[in-house]
Amino acid sequence: MADPRFVAESDALTGLDQRPNLMELTPTEFEALIQNLFTKMGLEARQTRPSRDGGVDCVAYDPRPIFGGKVVIQAKRYKNTVGVSAVRDLFGTLWHGLTESSGES
């Protein structure tokens, strides 16, 4: 059964050589590119649906013992440095997820 939190995988890498400027990608295409890159790196990556997810755009799983685990990805396509508020939002999302999974609240 498919998990409704994830979208179907799309191939963002094939057409990339025709788009030399990453800023020309739509946000969805950029997130698909990031998901594709993590998949090419050997992780099992899934792009999340656009929602109020606290900035989580993709979740990747590294199946290797000891080194592996869950990777939460927030894809930002900025020309300049990512702002502090975006980093704080992601930290809050991760902290909330950690406390929920450990039974703390």
- The pLDDT tens digits for 12-30 are 777 666 656 888 888 888 8
Structural domain containing residue 29: 16-77
Instruction: Report if residue 10 sits inside a domain.
Output: no
- The pLDDT tens digits for 81-100 are 888 888 888 788 777 766 66
Q: Can you give the pLDDT at residue 26?
A: 85
Q: Can you give the pLDDT at residue 44?
A: 94
What is the number of structural domains in the chain?
1
* Helix, strand, or coil (residue 87): helix
Instruction: Report if residue 2 sits inside a domain.
Output: no
Rounded CA gap, 76 and 82, in Å?
7
Cβ atoms of 75 and 31 closer than 8 Å: yes
Q: Can you give the pLDDT at residue 14?
A: 75
What is the reported pTM? 0.66
